[in-house]
Amino acid sequence: MAISAAMVKELRERTGLGMMDCKRALTEADGDMEKAIEELRKKSALKAAKKAGRTTANGLLGIHVAADGTRGAIVEINIETDFAAKNEKFIAFVAKVTEQLFESADGDLTALAAGDLNAERETLVQEIGENITIRRGQVVESAAGGISEYMHGDQRRGALVNLGQANAELGRDIAMHVVAINPMVVRSEDVAPDVLAKEREIFASQAAESGKPEEIVVKMVEGRVKKFLSEVSLLDQPFVKDGDTKVGKLVADAGTEVLSFVRYEVGEGIEVEETDFAAEVAAQVAGND
């Protein structure tokens, strides 16, 4: 069957793949559009699987908050390079994943990623030529309408903050603070016991090396623990826009409270293998001699 330009155009529009790939698929499928789409999806999945082992430490965040502050969603989608993260189709994919998570009934990103979004992801991997992972996402809800968000300009750091009552301006300011300062918890008592025990152990070891009397060492350790807690607890931190005011006072003066926050930063916690490109090229040249 002759494959017309119109058929190739239609297949490109439906799959987003290259002209030659579409023409080849149509030829192999003898002009059957649905069969060609099915074969292209299989090939997309194969190519995506081959790239699946490649580290994706770059990417973008997506955030969506309801106008009434009752629901918010945040996601992280990763890709291999910062350059590819600027691809318009990748940006659109991030927005789509965020929107679908926001609209989902159960806020389960894993289930969404395993459905139609995965097929779209695999196609995008083939188009862009880099591995893409739907890494994580979370939905926050508030009957009081206290959810606010802040996204840094590069779309690599963002946060959702949930206040006890609606206060969009305050919520955005605190979300900005969370993005900039990166607190560990809302209040000091929220620090996990194992984390606190580990810090105390480190401080005790450091203080013991001072050679000071035991009672002094104990006071040194407690002082350092107290300082650690004030540094990692949101409410104890000096507000990023006014260093003379602590976040806790800012919130109390507004007659509300911080119930929770979620902060994402693209690539945090992902180990990236360092590559010595000069050595790699030299090795290839030596191998060709």
Q: Quick one: pLDDT at residue 281?
A: 53
Other Cβ atoms closer than 10 A to 244: 7
**What is the distance between the alpha carbons of residues 289 and 273, in angstroms, rounded to a whole number?**
28
Indicate whether 34 pLDDT > 50. Answer: yes
Residue from 80, 24, 22 nearest 267 by CA: 80
pLDDT per residue as tens digits for the range 130-168: 899 999 999 999 999 999 999 999 999 999 999 999 999
The mean pLDDT of the chain is 88
Indicate whether 286 pLDDT > 90. Answer: no
CATH architecture under which domain 5-51 falls: Orthogonal Bundle (1.10)
**Distinct helix (H) and strand (E) counts, the chain:** 11, 8
Distances (CA, A) of 43 to 20, 26, 124, 183: 14, 14, 12, 44
Is the CB of residue 140 less than 8 Å from the CB of residue 65?
no
Domain boundaries, the chain: 5-51, 58-191+233-265
| Six token digits for residue 134 | 């739907």
Give the single-character DSSP code of 191: S
Indicate whether 26 pLDDT > 80. Answer: yes
pLDDT per residue as tens digits for the range 40-88: 766 655 455 555 557 678 999 999 999 999 999 999 999 999 999 999 9
* DSSP H or E run through 248: helix 247-253
30-41: average pLDDT: 80
**What is the distance between the alpha carbons of residues 170 and 84, in angstroms, rounded to a whole number?**
35
More reliable by pLDDT, 278 or 129: 129
User: pTM of this prediction?
Assistant: 0.77
Q: Quick one: pLDDT at residue 47?
A: 52
**What is the distance between the alpha carbons of residues 267 and 260, in angstroms, rounded to a whole number?**
22
Q: Quick one: pLDDT at residue 277?
A: 47
CATH fit for domain 58-191+233-265, picks 3.40.30.10, 3.10.110.10, 3.40.1350.10, 3.30.479.20: 3.30.479.20
| Six token digits for residue 121 | 């992801």
Distances (CA, A) of 41 to 21, 34, 127: 11, 11, 12
pLDDT per residue as tens digits for the range 191-229: 999 999 999 888 888 888 877 788 888 888 889 999 999
